[in-house]
Amino acid sequence: MTKEVYGNMGTILRVDLTTGKVEREESTKYNEKWLGGRCLAHYLLFNEVDVARTEPLSPANKVYIGTGPLSGTTFPSSGRTHATYLSPMNYSGWGDSNCGGHFGPALKRCGYDMLVISGRAEKPCYLYIENDEIRIESADGIWGKGTIDTQAELIQRHGEPTKLLCIGQAGENLIRFANVRTETTNSMGRCGMGAVFGSKNLKAVVAKGSKAVKLFKPNEYYKVTKQLRDELMDPNFGKIHGMSYKVMANWGTPGITNMIGATGMVPIRNWQRCGIDPKFDMLVHSWNTDHGTRREACFTCPVHCHAAYAVKDGKYPTRGGGPEYETTTALGHKCDIADDKAVLKLNAMCNDYGLDTVETGAMFSTLMELMERRIIDKEYIDGIDMQFGNADACVEMMPKIVFRKGCGNIMAEGPYRVAKRIGPEALKSVYHQKGMCATGVETRSTIGSMLQFAVSPRGSHHLNGLPTAEWVNIPALAIKVSGHKEAGDVRSYHPMGKAKLVQYYENMFFLSDSLGICKFNFGHLGYWHDSPEALDHMYDLICKSIYYATGIQYTTEGLFKIFERSNQIERATIVMRGIRRKDDQPNWKCLNESCPGQHPIGPIPLPPIDGKKFNKILDAYYDQRGWDSEGIPKARHLKKLGLDFVAIKMKKALT
């Protein structure tokens, strides 16, 4: 008799695009030890792919798309989908992407906890999944289209319940920073997953499911998930918690701009300035007030932080979904463009082409600084006047990149590779880690954030573990997560305080990515961060939810052991691809230039990162993780964590 499966669906679906072969594997054997989503994807990728030598755009690369045991249920904000693969964007080669919306729940209701895509189709195709029916269909008629028309066509073809992931022309043309899109507001944005889809001749994955998710204790589950939903929206739960809900529900992520800008964290003019500048106010709240048409939400989310907008007049009439904070800072602040209509136009273009707005904005702002420094001239970029503040130049440059026309064929490689090609002086203008440019975080403002960006396996990205306790700065909370009150001081270089702080949040961020829930609401923003007791309360409700959903009991400590093992897999992989201590250092600007700007917290201008003090923190972090002085995981530590297979594979690759 088949054992009843709860919470999860019990099956991994594997599709080889080269052969057309479809296989199903039981997933229950992995659930207790690897949870699901991101953690399970890491385990499978490491074991099934030659992670040391596989080229990201080769057929040998595999894409692991996971849901999670809470995905597609009444748990609030359980619409997330996670993907892991080898990345063509950063030079570390680690690829993690995550999105909201409704695709993950749809895939799960088809009966699958994980979709594994391998090989390369001979001709452009899309993958159709409807419960037990799996088909590889021709992409004739949609190849060459943007993501908006692609989604409209496939929904019309397969019916309104259809949910899908798809690429635009950027992914088809293997732009290294192409993304994967779903609906109007959601992207698997970072690490170039769109190019990986394109390299496989895969236009889209369509999911149309009708299977029920069985729960171990449904009555108790509904009760605890309702409590979580109500507390997420409770203005009296805590000041920071309540403010997080108010800002996100009314203005989405752009609404936090001036809140985090208080420390100087918001970058301006390609990280030449930082903090709060009133000239960008139209990108904080007013874009929504003036152009927003409705608020939108992902599956079961009570926060509805997304929006739709329509610009009906002026030079840039457009409509679309979003934008996010990362978009307004990347295409606005970093490019010194304060015109909200222009930024909304650029956002809509990126979304339809299938471009990561973060790396696109960094490409533009890097070119603008290189022009300003006279390292390049207009001839280098086909006569386009890429000056700071020139939105018209960005509108003109974007299709050249997407279709690899003229200079766009070079720009398609991304800011790091473009600057490296020009020379060492040009690289000084690229604000990156491991070849991927930073999100909207000025890391000279907050020392823990600098460490987190520096050691991130995929490059400069806050969603690998931006330490919330640092910038909310509640001493009791800092002590809880690190053992040191100095961890909550944004300017402190306390070695062990910052090391433990970053380790904690890096591990914590596996929680949401592996369960299929939103990390904005469970750890990344100020939710549940008013006190140590509030954070414990969140973990208690999540552990209860997992048990009531799956029948598997976890403690918080047990979950964090899974997350620690998953982090070690990330590090072992990038070490096998050549990453060492030199790659965990702050970028040139962070180490050599101060950053002026207006902000009430911290010194003005922000000083460069102190390299000697930073490396003492890095030593403490390596020690805390069980790595040697070059950042290589020690075999005995891996074995202690039950990761003998990682130690063996890494040793073989390094000898």
Whether the Cβ atoms of residue 365 and residue 268 lie closer than 8 Å to each other: no
- The CA angle 68-70-75, to the nearest 5 degrees, is 150
Distances (CA, A) of 408 to 363, 391, 393: 11, 17, 13
Distances (CA, A) of 192 to 56, 124, 181, 605: 10, 18, 12, 34
Rounded to whole angstroms, the Cα distance separating 433 from 359 reads 12
pLDDT band at 524 (very low <50, low <70, confident <90, very high): confident
In this model, does residue 413 exceed pLDDT 70? yes
Q: For residue 533, give every residue at least 6 positions away whose Cβ sits within 8 Å of its Cβ, in sequence order, or none.
A: none
In this model, does residue 219 exceed pLDDT 50? yes
Q: What is the mean pLDDT of residues 104-124?
A: 98
Distances (CA, A) of 460 to 229, 302, 437, 442, 480: 32, 30, 6, 11, 26
For 266, phi and psi rounded to 5 degrees? -85, 120
Helix axes 218-232, 532-550, angle to 10 degrees: 150
Closest CA to 253 of 424, 84, 107, 466: 466
Which amino acid does the sequence have at 468? T
Q: Does the global pTM surpass 0.85?
A: yes
Question: Cis before residue 415, ω within 30 degrees of 0?
Answer: no
Which amino acid does the sequence have at 620? A
3-state secondary structure of 472: helix
- Write down the domain spans for the chain: 11-207, 258-437
Find tokens 């139209």 and name the residue.
282
Whether the Cβ atoms of residue 451 and residue 499 lie closer than 8 Å to each other: yes
β-strand partners of 186: 182
pLDDT tens digit sequence for 4-29: 999 999 999 999 999 999 999 999 99
- Mean of the per-residue pLDDT values for the chain? 96
Half-sphere exposure of 66 (CA within 13 A, CB side): 35
Q: What is the mean pLDDT of residues 60-84?
A: 97
- Give burial (CB, 10 Å; 0-12/13-18/19+) of 70: buried
Half-sphere exposure of 619 (CA within 13 A, CB side): 9
Find tokens 């030598």 and name the residue.
53
pLDDT tens digit sequence for 153-169: 999 999 989 999 999 99
Q: What is the mean pLDDT of residues 333-342?
A: 97
What's the CATH code, domain 11-207?
3.60.9.10
In this model, does residue 302 exceed pLDDT 80? yes
CA 1 to chain centre: 41
Find tokens 């739960």 and name the residue.
237
Q: Kindly give the pairing relationship between strand 114-118 and strand 11-16.
A: parallel
For 350, phi and psi rounded to 5 degrees? -60, -45
H or E, element range at 550: helix 532-550
Q: For residue 630, give every residue at least 6 positions away whose Cβ sits within 8 Å of its Cβ, in sequence order, or none.
A: 580, 581
Question: Cis before residue 605, ω within 30 degrees of 0?
Answer: yes
Helix axes 556-576, 611-625, angle to 10 degrees: 120
Rounded to whole angstroms, the Cα distance separating 460 from 167 reads 23
Rounded to whole angstroms, the Cα distance separating 10 from 114 reads 9
pLDDT tens digit sequence for 227-260: 999 999 999 999 999 999 999 999 999 999 999 9
pLDDT, residue 286, reads 84
pLDDT, residue 2, reads 56
pLDDT tens digit sequence for 459-488: 999 999 999 999 898 999 999 999 999 999
CATH number for the 258-437 domain, one of 1.10.569.10, 1.10.760.10, 3.90.190.20, 1.10.510.10?
1.10.569.10
The 3-class secondary structure across 491-503, one letter per residue, is CCCCHHHHHHHHH
Q: What is the mean pLDDT of residues 271-284?
A: 96
First to last CA, the chain: 47
**What beta strand segments (E) does 119-269 contain?**
125-130, 133-138, 163-166, 180-182, 186-188, 202-207, 267-268
The DSSP string of 157-187 is HH-TT-EEEE--HHHHTT-TTB-EEETTTEE
Share of the chain above pLDDT 70, in %: 100
Closest CA to 262 of 108, 429, 111, 442: 442
pLDDT band at 1 (very low <50, low <70, confident <90, very high): very low
In this model, does residue 138 exceed pLDDT 70? yes
Kindly report the length of the chain: 655
Look at the alpha carbons of 341, 345, 351, 357 in this order and tell me if their dihedral is positive or negative: negative
The 267-268 sheet, strands edge to edge: 267-268, 273-275, 597-598
pLDDT, residue 287, reads 87
pLDDT, residue 90, reads 97
Residue 198: count of CB within 10 angstroms of its CB: 27
Whether the Cβ atoms of residue 510 and residue 516 lie closer than 8 Å to each other: no
